[in-house]
Amino acid sequence: MRDAIPVSGGHAAASETAPRRGAIRFVRRLWRKSSVAGLAVYALALGGALGLASADWATRGGYPFGGVQVGAWTAWPRAGAANADPYTRAVNARRGEIPLAVGEGLLLTAASDDDGQTLDAACTYRIGGGTPPARAWTITVAGRGPREAGRPILREGFTSTEILRSADGRFTVMLAPDVQPGNWLPSPRASGPVRLALRLYDTPAAASVGSLDRTSVPAITRLGCAS
């Protein structure tokens, strides 16, 4: 609206003597008398500002589309493909990300547990089960934003080679702030939301994400929270 002032300001210039009431009358007069040019400037300014702001919002942070929900996990099969959607390409370009190509592997992320509650660093979770067939995989945890200074990094994740398994080949990872027996994955921060990433390397699942179901990905169960 402010951009319209220079265009139709000439009509209202005389009424600027009494500052406060003058301004109100000026705006009212502008409203009544707004010329086509003023409206055009208004429309252009609105379109430009809203368009750029929404484009910035849509390409900031994670991928807005292209995820395939598998249980609590979201698979991103097309993130690195040449036919990825324009939003995914824009997100990759802005972050400098090099996504896994379809022939390389598949990324799955989880921001909430099986009940749909957001993963919290103060809570204890059991992440257990099997993974889709893959030559190697890693399961990692990360908090949003930069790392807390002074907090030692004990462990950020497990690889398929080093993880302790039960006799049937399945595994259980405990994501907890306190020490746990077995595969303990320390919470990356004291509080706040955390995200899990499961990266499958050299996997046939990358080409057929539709074949994945709840039972083929690790289940994430909340056991309790420190108050």
Partner 1 sequence: MRVVSLRFVYATLLGLVLAGIVHIAAVLAIPRLSETDAVSRARTSESLDHPQPIYTVATGDDPSPPEAWLPIPDPAVAVGVCAYDLTDGPMRVSARTGSLTLSLAAHARRGAFYAVTDQAAVRGALDLVILTRAQYDEALADDDENDPSRDVRIVAPDARGFVVVRVIAGLPSQRPAANAEIQAVSCTTDTTADDAPAGKDSTGKGTGR
Question: Can you give the binding site for partner 1, defined by CB under 8 A?
Answer: 31-34, 36, 39-40, 42-52, 54-56, 58-59, 80-84, 86-87, 89-90, 92-105, 135-136, 138, 140, 142, 153, 156-157, 159-162, 197, 199, 201-202
Do 9 and 37 meet the contact criterion of CB atoms below 8 Å apart? no
Q: What are phi and psi of 10, to 5 degrees?
A: -60, -35
Comparing CB distances to partner 1, the nearer of 157 and 226 is: 157
Min separation Cβ 99 and partner 1, Å: 7
Comparing CB distances to partner 1, the nearer of 1 and 18 is: 1
In angstroms, the CA 217 to CA 170 distance is: 11
Comparing CB distances to partner 1, the nearer of 44 and 190 is: 44
Min separation Cβ 103 and partner 1, Å: 3
Min separation Cβ 227 and partner 1, Å: 30
Structure tokens at 94: 């802005």
Min separation Cβ 112 and partner 1, Å: 17
Angle, CA of 81, 86 and 87, to the nearest 5° = 105
Number of Cβ within a 10 Å radius of residue 62: 13
In angstroms, the CA 144 to CA 76 distance is: 19
> Is residue 201 helix, strand or coil?
strand
Min separation Cβ 6 and partner 1, Å: 17
Comparing CB distances to partner 1, the nearer of 138 and 172 is: 138
Comparing CB distances to partner 1, the nearer of 37 and 190 is: 37
Comparing CB distances to partner 1, the nearer of 91 and 220 is: 91
Cα 211 → chain centroid: 24
Min separation Cβ 138 and partner 1, Å: 5
In angstroms, the CA 88 to CA 71 distance is: 22
Q: What are phi and psi of 74, to 5 degrees?
A: -120, 125
